Amino acid sequence: MRIDLIYPEIVILSLALLILLISFLRPKRPNYLGYLSLIGLIGAFLTCGKILGEESFLFEGMFRIDAMSSWVKMLFLVLSLLVTLASIDFYLTHPEEGGYYALLLFSLGGAMIMASSTDLITLFLGLELSTLPCFILVSLRKKAKSIEGALKYFFLALIATALFVYGISIFYGLIGSSNFLVISNALKTRIIYLPLVLATILVTVGFSFKMALVPFHFWAPDAYEGAPTLVAAFLAVIPKCGILIAMVRFFSLTLSQIRLDWLILFVTLSFFTMTFGNIMALTQDNVKRMLAYSSVAHSGYLLVGLAVGTKLAIEGMLLYLMVYTIANLGAFSVIFACTKEEKEGLLSDFSGMGERAPLLSFAMTLFLLSLVGIPPLAGFMGKIHLFGAAVEAGFAWLAVVGVLNSVISLGYYLKVVKEMYFVAASERGIIKISPLLAVALGIEVLAVLLIGIYPAPFIELAQFSAGILPKGFF
């Protein structure tokens, strides 16, 4: 077995343990664990870049390295890098410094495992590893709201896990294996229809809970609102996208034989998730909550890609994943920069930001407009690719729903812009941010502009990683 193929996971998980160890042994602060975590992430990124393009099964077919997994892991690592960059100065003297980074890394490791899993058991491991640390991360601030959010998240995730495991057990009972390859081969010959559909539904519900798809999204707004802002940012991108990639592997590749059955499930989920998420976001006056609903809505857009299912659509989905995660992370980072974890992130906390922090407000405007999909920003390229694929495959109505939803989303994103530029500031004073946070924001702004203006290399990346599709596992 080629151990070098799982170096990224090894680096991340052992780094997490190391950080925990250091913070046990050296309770005095500062420990500069953020920098350590930064170095580890860069190391993992490089090892991941090295194996980009390799294709192999590991652990008896339970773990898959291919273009999609490597590329998505690199994306995750970059996103975690940006989160870490934004965190360093704030958490340097924070009592939970060690725990914070360790838990982030564990969750990242779980998402990376999910992206590679080709066995329901590995998938389950990855899923739990990526969500369990999040409960603690959400309650890190130890405020009533945070505890409430974490508890809600925790209990609903428990139910989801139970349903998911039940689904797995039915698959195992039916087919005698939990391996994706074996399942997909077995489906070609004999299908016991009803239990199979039941198992599929259970697994889907499990996924939907964890990804906060409507109507399984109730934990998300509370958890995001209660969580420290950067944790919310992390929550909205990394575990979510890990699940999405696992879903591509499980549904598009493994269950392709019964595509018509899960298709209807996903089309419905996607429709309600984007519409309901956007409509609920309109009524929020807490920006973190608003972005929570907005990220629910964006999961709906991403599901369009999964539901349409063509190679073009998966490509679009992967590109959208990239542009959504970067812009979303950017928006949360701006909230972090403006509120410094002291304020709740209400709309009124942003009044007059255009005067107090012109660059931050400019960045926020770019991120939000990119999330709407206004050209020439990255979100536009993502949307045109994703909805283009839907039109091409004959899902024009889903594309219509999608673009009209983008118009609805403009309504609430503009509320933030309006607050920043057109409402007089309630406080005085220029907002200062740490240089590392500024670097992170700078990278995000550049990415949003670059992908929007010259998307070709990024589209190639998405094509490259979606290249596994027509071939399946072989």
Partner 1 sequence: MQGFPILSFIVFTPLIGTLLILLIPKTEKQSIKTIALFAAAITLLLSLMLYFQFDKSNPKIQFIEKSPFSVGLGIEYHLGVDGISLPMILLTALLTLLAIGASWNLENRPKGFFAFLLLLETGMLGVFASLDLVLFYVFWEMGLVPMYFLISIWGYERREYAAIKFFIYTLTGSVVMLLGILALYFYSSPNTFNIATLTKSHFPPLFQEIVFIALSFGFAIKVPLFPFHTWLPDAHVEAPTAGSVLLAGILLKMGAYGFMRISLPILPHAFYKFAPLIAIPALINIVYGAFVAMAQTDLKKMVAYSSVSHMGFVMLGMAALTSAGINGAVLQMFNHGVITGMLFLLVGLIYERTHTREIPKMGGLFSKVPILAGIISFGAFASMGLPGLSGFTGEFLCMIGSFTGELPMYKVITSIATIGLVITATYFLRMLQRVVLGVLPSSLEKMVDLNGREVAYLVPLIFLIIVIGAYPATIINLINPASSMWLNIMKTRVLGG
Chain contacts with partner 1 (rule: CB under 8 A): 369, 372-376, 380-381, 384-385, 387-388, 391-392, 396, 399-400, 403-404, 406-407, 410-411, 414, 418, 421-422, 454-460
Minimum CB distance to partner 1 smaller for 155 or for 454:
454
Report CA-CA distances (Å) from 450 to 71, 104, 375, 381: 19, 28, 12, 11
Minimum CB distance to partner 1 smaller for 249 or for 385:
385
Minimum CB distance to partner 1 smaller for 250 or for 458:
458
**Upstream peptide bond of 195 is cis (omega within 30 degrees of 0):** no
Q: Are 37 and 19 in contact (CB under 8 A)?
A: yes
Q: What is the DSSP string of 305-341?
A: HHHH-SHHHHHHHHHHHHHHHHHHHHHHHHHHHHHTT
Q: How far is the CB of 192 from partner 1 (least distance, A)?
A: 38
Taking the C-alpha atoms of residue 375 and residue 405, their distance in angstroms, rounded to an integer, is 16
**Upstream peptide bond of 95 is cis (omega within 30 degrees of 0):** no
Q: How far is the CB of 299 from partner 1 (least distance, A)?
A: 20
The torsion angles phi and psi of 119, rounded to 5 degrees, stand at -150, 140
Q: How far is the CB of 331 from partner 1 (least distance, A)?
A: 17
The residue type found at 126 is G
Minimum CB distance to partner 1 smaller for 133 or for 373:
373
Q: How far is the CB of 385 from partner 1 (least distance, A)?
A: 6
DSSP-derived secondary structure letter, 237: H
Minimum CB distance to partner 1 smaller for 44 or for 331:
331
Q: How far is the CB of 378 from partner 1 (least distance, A)?
A: 12
What is the three-class DSSP state of 107? Answer: helix
Q: How far is the CB of 180 from partner 1 (least distance, A)?
A: 31
Minimum CB distance to partner 1 smaller for 238 or for 377:
377
Minimum CB distance to partner 1 smaller for 95 or for 442:
442
User: Using only C-alpha atoms, what is the Rg of the chain?
Assistant: 21
Q: How far is the CB of 447 from partner 1 (least distance, A)?
A: 15
Minimum CB distance to partner 1 smaller for 18 or for 408:
408
Q: How far is the CB of 411 from partner 1 (least distance, A)?
A: 7
Contacts of 79 (CB under 8 A, 6+ apart): 234, 237, 238, 325, 326, 329
| Closest C-alpha among 127, 316, 110, 310 to residue 207 | 127
Taking the C-alpha atoms of residue 124 and residue 142, their distance in angstroms, rounded to an integer, is 29
Minimum CB distance to partner 1 smaller for 101 or for 387:
387
Q: How far is the CB of 313 from partner 1 (least distance, A)?
A: 12
| Closest C-alpha among 52, 45, 58 to residue 15 | 45
Q: Are 83 and 234 in contact (CB under 8 A)?
A: yes
